Chain A
Amino acid sequence: MQPIIEIRGLEKTYASGFQALKGVDLDIRRGEILALLGPNGAGKTTLISIVCGIVRATAGRVTVDGHDIQRDWRAARSLIGLVPQELTTEAFESVWATVSFSRGLFGKPPNPAVIERILKDLSLWDKKDTKVMALSGGMKRRVLIAKALSHEPSILFLDEPTAGVDVELRRGMWEMIGRLRDSGVTIILTTHYIEEAEEMADSIGVISGGRIVLVEEKAALMEKLGKRLLTLQLQAPLDAIPAELADYPLTLSDNGRELVYRFDTQQERTGIAGLLRKLGDHGITYTNLHTQESSLEEIFVSLVRERA
């Protein structure tokens, strides 16, 4: 199936000379949730802003459902809803007015039933006549989401949707994003909460220094790059790793009281059984052991570091 968004050779150099994007190629599949991960200043927001028409690209091409964002901008933009990172709202307007305004702006005729459903979905219905300025931060964020959904877009960009949102609300927002995906909306979210990507995304793109470092299905990424650690708490501390065990990738920590074995989940034989047997042969005894999977965060940090 044709990707819903195709980005080719996208570059952006700001007037200050700062090169935010250095040739980005990216395909986003229809109906998926793509999480764009990257440190601050990696180019996440610039990338989104170009696709949405807020920033002009220096070079490259973007198509949205086959519509070129330059030549066929009206059709391309009509398909997209954007929730910006900053909580920018029309402070003096009522929730109802500001959401209805957005629908009109995107070229859709008024439809109170749609606005009502969106506001109810986002638990904003009882606030519909409240001025936006009187709402809490979490509610304002939801107003921004309601505005972005007001014209029933098929693609939704969420630029750090849960920044500054409390834990409970974050859960609620994840659930809502999941429901949107189920209704067929393609969702692109940027975040630097790895937890968020891990929880929600189907695919993960890592962007660093203006380049896409990788795009991969989440499960495949975890499997491919996931390292496991086996940690053994030793009965007696070791000064150094015995020469007989030099074949194993072992490290000592906690002043020699812990022995850490790093193994790859991809391999058929982990070597754990062999290692434990050898330890017994050499009289190294341990009181406890546990294994641990590397999180997306660790994968991410190591990726960015490799590239740097």
Chain B
Amino acid sequence: MNLHAIKAIYVFELARTWRTLFQSIAGPVISTSLYFIVFGAAIGSRFASVEGVSYGAFLVPGLVMMSVLTESVSNASFGIYMPRYSGTIYELLSAPVSAFETVIGYVGAAATKSIILGTLILLTARLFVDFSIAHPFWMIAFLMLTSVTFSLLGFILGIWADGWEKLQIVPMLIVTPLAFLGGSFYSISMLPPFWQKVTLFNPVVYLVSGFRWSFYGAADVPVALSLAMTALLLVICLAIVWWIFRTGYKLKA
């Protein structure tokens, strides 16, 4: 196990975060604050409570999940795409570093960043609304699981993409819509029966539902199912990453 390499990649990637502190942390925090002001305070004050909590409080887990999802994908994809684009990947490929170590370094750094971001958003949210966390352990577990899974997804995207456009298009056309329609802003029980069924095909529903359960004890889908679906997603991503390194897909000629 090349621990020095894992550390080198991890530190290097996190250094990128500190360097682009404003974009990576301040940006999402500010935009989340805007959501709270608009949906939580302004519009939300006219809503009745959802599933027994105020709409503002209901929003908190969904918004955290949404930022964590999108930022995990974009951070991790950028982290591995950048060296491919600039050509510096030669060094990684020629180093005594295994696929597993590479993934721990890159995905670990991206996930760490997402967890920091999620925590910051929670703290920011506290300024706007009052909320409680019923199951802190599960809250942290869901946050970590989601960060890792979507950082893996981002890693895959960063290897698959062969242009900046592709790198942007997946988050824009797939991740963001899934996050919006995944129950971040509403309970899926508010949807007509047909759309409730359709929405069950959206993996984000399970993440948001499970995460919200850890706050308020109520969920759209059983929490065990949420956990199972998140784990399944994680396994799928791991399998794809394993395949990428085994075949050298887009990495080695």
Q: How far is the CB of B159 from chain A (nearest CB, A)?
A: 15
How many Å from the CB of A76 to the closest CB on chain B?
Answer: 8
Tell whether, in the assembled complex, residue B94 and residue A54 are in contact, meaning their CB atoms are under 8 Å apart. yes
* Complex CA–CA separation, A80 to B96 (angstroms): 10
A82 touches B94 (CB 8 A): yes
Known A55-B253, A91-B86; judge A97-B12 contact (CB<8 A). yes
Is there contact, CB below 8 Å, between A77 and B88?
no
**Beta-carbon contact of B4 and A107 below 8 Å:** yes
**Interface 1/0 per residue, A82-101 and B, CB below 8 Å:** 10101011111100010011
B19 at the interface (CB under 8 A from A): yes
Interface contact B95-A77, CB-CB below 8 Å: yes
User: Secondary structure of the B side of the interface?
Assistant: helix
What is the size, in residues, of chain B's interface with A at 8 Å between Cβ atoms? 27
Let me know if A108 and B4 touch, CB within 8 A.
yes
Given the interface pairs A82-B94, A107-B4, the reply to whether A88 lies near B86 with Cβ below 8 Å is yes
Q: How far is the CB of A20 from chain B (nearest CB, A)?
A: 9
| A52 with B94: CB separation less than 8 A | yes
B248 to A, closest residue via Cβ: A56
Question: Assuming the A-B contacts A97-B15, A107-B4, A109-B4, are A53 and B93 also in contact, with contact meaning beta carbons closer than 8 angstroms in the complex?
Answer: yes
CB pair A90 B86 closer than 8 Å = yes
A105 within 8 A of partner (CB): yes
The 5 A-B pairs of least Cβ separation, nearest first, read A104-B8, A88-B87, A77-B96, A52-B94, A74-B96
B→A interface (CB under 8 Å): 2, 4-5, 7-9, 11-12, 15-16, 19, 83, 86-88, 90-98, 248, 252-253
28 contacts between A and B (CB under 8 A): A14-B253, A52-B93, A54-B90, A54-B253, A55-B252, A56-B248, A56-B253, A74-B2, A74-B98, A75-B96, A77-B94, A78-B96, A84-B90, A88-B88, A89-B86, A89-B88, A91-B86, A92-B16, A97-B12, A104-B5, A104-B7, A104-B8, A104-B9, A105-B8, A105-B9, A106-B5, A107-B5, A147-B91
